[in-house]
Structure 1
C-alpha cells in the first residue's frame, strides 16, 4: 500500500487472478517459488546436518530454524520490493506488469485444477496405475495400494486444503501489501512444505517455519471457510448448511489449526467423509475424520472439489470488481 494506492493494488490483484486462470503457473527454472526453494535448501545445508539429538542441542537447532525462517521471509519480501521499485523507476506501467505477474506466481488456481485432473482423467479411464502415480506427486502418503475411493479422498483433501494456501492466503496478503507481502507469504508456505515436518530431522529445525505458516494462514483459513459456505450456497447439489455445520463440528479435530476448516467445509458441502487412515513410508497414521459419510466417495468428487475451488476464485474476483466499481465510479 505504501508503493501503490488501494485502487492500484485491487486492480493488479484482479488482473493476477485472471492471468492465473489463463496461463496457470509455468514451472520455469527461474520461477520465484523454485528460487525460494533453492535458497531454503542452501541455508538448510549450511545450518542443519540433522544429527543433533540431545536436549541441549534441540534448543540450538530451533534457533537455527528461526534463522532459516527469518532470512527466507525477509529476503523474499525485500527482493520483491526492490524489483518492483526498479521496474517502477523505469516506467509506471512496467511496475504494474511486474507486480501483477509476481502476484500471479503466488497463486495456483489453474495449477491445482490441472494437478487434480491428472488423477481424475486416469481414474475415469480405469487406469489406477497412473492415478496412483499422479496422486503421489501431490500428497506425502503412500499411494501404491490405494483404490479409487482413497485416491479420490487424497485429491479432494489436497484441493480443499490448498484453497487456503494457493488462493485465498496469497490474495489476502497481496491486497494488504501488494506483491512483496504476497511473496513473503509464498516463502512462508514454501518453508512449511519443505521443513515443517514432525519427524526426526525437522521436529526442531522446522518448528519455527511450521508455526509461522500457521500464523500467516490463521485469518485466510477462516475467510476461506466463509467463502466455501457461500460457494456451496450458490452451486446446485452442494449443502451450505452442512458445510457450516461440518466446520463447527470437525475442523478443530484436524492436527492443523487451519487446514481442518476448508477440508471440513468441502466434506460437509459434498456429503462425504474426509480423513481416515493414511500410510507414510509404510507406517500407518490415523487422521481425523471430517464430515459425515452420507454416501460413498466417487471420482466425480474431484470435479466437485475443483468447481468449489473455482467458485471461490469467482467470488473473490466478483468482489474485487465490485470494489473497483465503487472506487472508480
Structure 2
C-alpha cells in the first residue's frame, strides 16, 4: 500500500460530491457484501468454532478485497498511467459517502416535513439499525441526526484517512471491514461470536478518525453558523456517553454544535436499548436541526478533504500522468 496521489483524492471527492453512489456501475461494496455472505455460509459449514470462523471471515474478506483491487489497478497501470489513475479514482470514489448520506437522509426528512410519517419511518429503516415502525416525529429526527453525525466519521472521514495513508488498497480494506461490521457485527445470538473480530477491527480502524471528526466538526461549526464553543464543551463532557468507543465523539460534537440532545431509548430487534443523553436540549430536534447537521457534515468533509489533499501532496507531490 502506498499513499494516495493528490489527483486521485481530488477526482474521488469530486465524483462523490457530484454523483453519490454509482448505482448503474459495479460497486465494490456490493461485491464485498456478496463475498461476506458466501464466506459466512462456507465457514459455518467448515467449523463450529465461531470465533475462529469470525477471524477467518475477517482475514479472507479483507485480504481478497485488497488483493483484487491491487491486481486490478496494477493491470490498469500497465495499460497506461491515465488508466491507472482513473481506476484508482473510481475505487476511491466508491469508498466515500457524503452525497449518498445526504440523499438517503433527505428522503427521511422530506417525508417527515410533508407529514408522511410512515414513509419517513420506512426510509429511515434503510439507513439505521434500530426499529423504526413506531417512532414518533421527535424520535425520527433524533435518529436521522445521529446517523448523519456518526456516518460523517464512518463514511467520510475514516475512508479519507485510510485512502490518504494507503491509497485505494487501504481504502477498500477499510470498506471491507466496515461492511463486515454492518453485516456480522451485531451483538445477537447469531453474530455475537462470529462477528466479534470484525466489530473489534472496525472499532480499531475508526478510533483515530472518530476523534478527528469531532475536532473537525468543532472547527467547521462557525463556518456553518453554529457554536464551536458548545460543540467543544459537549464533546469533552459527553463523548463517552455511548456504547460504542467511537460513535460518541462525532455525535457529541454535532449535538453541541446544533444545541440539541441525542441519545435516549431505541429498540433493536424488539429489544429496548438505553443510551446516555448526549448534549443539552437548547433547541428542538426538527427540520432546522437536520439542515444544520447536513451543512456541518459538508463543512467537515471539505476540511478533511483539504487536510488529506495537502498531506498527500506533501507525501508524494502532485502528479498528473502523461497522456
TM over 0.5: yes
What is the Cα deviation at residue 191 of structure 1? Answer: 0.3
Q: What's 1:274 paired with?
A: 262
Write the distance in 1 (CA, Å) between the matches of 2:108 and 2:306.
Answer: 30
Residue deviations 1:146-195 (CA, integer Å, cap 9, x gap): 12111011101100000111101111111111100000000000000000
- C-alpha change, 1:217 and 1:101, in structure 2 (3 Å) is same
1:305 aligns with 2:293: yes
Unmatched runs of 5 consecutive residues or more in structure 1:
none
Quick check: 1:66–1:209 contact (8 Å CA) kept in 2? yes
Aligned length: 316
Shift in Å, 1:279: 1.6
* Match of residue 146 from structure 1: 135
| C-alpha distance in 2 between matches for 1:203 and 1:119 | 30
- Which has the higher relative contact order, 1 or 2, with Cα contacts under 8 A spaced 6 or more apart? 2
Alignment of 1:167-186 (within 5 A): 167-186=156-175
Matched, 1:89 2:81: no
User: How far does residue 321 in structure 1 lie from its aligned partner after superposition?
Assistant: 5.5
Q: Per-residue deviation at 1:312?
A: 1.1
Say whether 1:36 aligns with 2:32: yes
8 Å contact kept, 2:203–2:245: yes
Compared CA separation, residues 201 and 321, structure 1 to 2 (3 A): closer
In structure 2, the residue matched to 1:241 is: 229
Q: Does 1:156 align with 2:145?
A: yes
- The alpha carbon displacement at 1:322 in A equals 5.2
Q: 2:18 aligns with which of 12, 22, 28?
A: 22
TM-score normalized by structure 2?
0.93
Deviations 1:216-248 (A, max 9, x none): 101111111111011113221x11111112121
Answer whether contact 1:14 1:320 (CA < 8 A) is retained. Answer: no
What is the CA–CA distance in structure 2 between the aligned matches of 1:153 and 1:325, rounded to whole Å? 39
TM-score by length of 1: 0.91
* Aligned 8 A contact 1:225 1:262 in 2: yes
Alignment of 1:2-21 (within 5 A): 2=2, 9-21=5-17
**CA separation of 1:257/1:132 partners in 2, compared to 1, >3 Å: closer, same or farther?**
same
Mapping for residues 177-326 of structure 1, pairs under 5 Å = 177-236=166-225, 238-320=226-308
* Contact kept in structure 2, 1:107 and 1:170, CA below 8 Å: yes
Structure 2 unaligned runs (5+)? none
**CA shift for structure 1 position 75:** 1.1
Three-state SS of the structure 2 residue aligned to 1:137 is coil
- The answer to whether the 8 Å contact 1:148/1:299 transfers is no
Give the 3 Å change call, closer, same or farther, for CA 285–83 of structure 1 in structure 2: same
Matches of 1:32 and 1:255 in 2, distance apart? Answer: 30
Alpha-carbon deviation of 1:106?
A: 0.4
2:26 aligns to what SS in structure 1? coil
- Alignment RMSD: 1.9
